[in-house]
Copies of this chain bind each other. A is one copy, B any other.
């Protein structure tokens, strides 16, 4: 129950950590240099914009984004502060609320996507053939822990990430 990992597995782990960190950094830096907010904002805006009425319960957002609860709560604060989303009362469950994306939010999401997608292309797309990208996905998916929903993320016109 406590066997050691093979050196191959260890090497894969190392690569996974280092490469992700590097690529993420690169993309985030590009985005920041272009004057945009952090990626997490984009992810949240995308999730909201995709949701049925442009609104979601914080709990749902939290699950989609794999963020801790308090983190989601504060992210929403910031979006609201910037006028990118609004909090709405939730009639059916008075504990809760809905977070609805605003027009400004949708616009920022679109603008960010053009910078973001350029980053993905630059730091991922251009280094991998489509076939290899597919292989990479396949291998990574096998590491997807107990979390059936990961594969459900259709890539429509943007990534939902982190």
- Check A10 against B117 for contact (C-beta < 8 Å): yes
Cβ < 8 Å to B, chain A residues 106-155: 114, 117-118, 120-121, 123-125, 127-128, 130-137, 139-145, 147, 150, 153, 155
Q: Is A86 an interface residue (CB 8 A)?
A: no
Residue of B with least CB distance to A151: B15
Q: Contact at A20–B22, with CB atoms within 8 Å?
A: no
Could you tell me how many residues of chain A have their Cβ less than 8 Å away from some Cβ of chain B? 59
A-to-B contact residues, CB < 8 Å: 2-24, 26, 66, 114, 117-118, 120-121, 123-125, 127-128, 130-137, 139-145, 147, 150, 153, 155, 158-162
Q: Chain A interface secondary structure, helix, strand, loop or mixed?
A: helix
Beyond A3-B121, A145-B23, A162-B21, whether A140 also contacts B9 by CB under 8 A is no
Check A16 against B20 for contact (C-beta < 8 Å): yes
- Interchain residue pairs with CB less than 8 A apart (8): A10-B117, A10-B124, A12-B128, A17-B161, A18-B144, A18-B162, A19-B140, A22-B147
